[in-house]
Copies of this chain bind each other. A is one copy, B any other.
Amino acid sequence: MSLRYAILGLLARQPSSGYELTRKFDSSLRTAWHAQHSQIYPELAKLEAEGLAEIIKRGARGSKTYGLTESGHDALRHWLVEVAPDRSQRNESAVRLFLTQLMAPRERRLAFERDLAYVHQQTAELRLIKDQLAPDEPFAPQVELGLRTNAVLSAWLQEQADAATREGGDGPQ
């Protein structure tokens, strides 16, 4: 049921259309939850049918902006406060890190470097977001957490890439 509450949460922060939600799942929420538009539109329809969300504006090109109803806010608050978190995760990159030792040193080094490039790019995006943050932005701590986590990951990946090089996956490129 996380998709439902992720959507309710985004709508609580800012009324949005399905299209806008899709982009948010792809940007700000990308490290937390993944969803395609083909999942988002039906869920919005269900949320509306159940009285948790409502269309508050119809714009150009048939766009529909949804906001939370009273009971939508209640449902979200209840989930956040009363429901025990599900700690299980699905993270393919983590599975790969777990299995890297099964690769030969050379392939391992390339895998670490590929991840390193990804983390660097993510870090750059986060820095951009951080610099553009309004001073009162309540979202600032989350950006900071992302940056700190990326710093740790980046250092670790670099160490592992170096170790793989020493082990025989040597040479530039």
Contact = CB atoms under 8 A, between A and B. Distances in A.
Interface of chain A, main secondary structure: helix
Contact of A33 (B77, B94, B152, B163): B94
How many monomers of this chain does the complex have? 2
Interface in A1-49: 2, 5-6, 9, 12-13, 28-34
Contacts of A87: 30, 92-93, 118
Contacts of A110: 81
Interface residues on chain A, size class: 35 or more
Interface string A90-104: 111111111111110
Q: Point out which of A5, A93, A118 has the most chain B C-beta atoms below 10 A from its C-beta.
A: A93
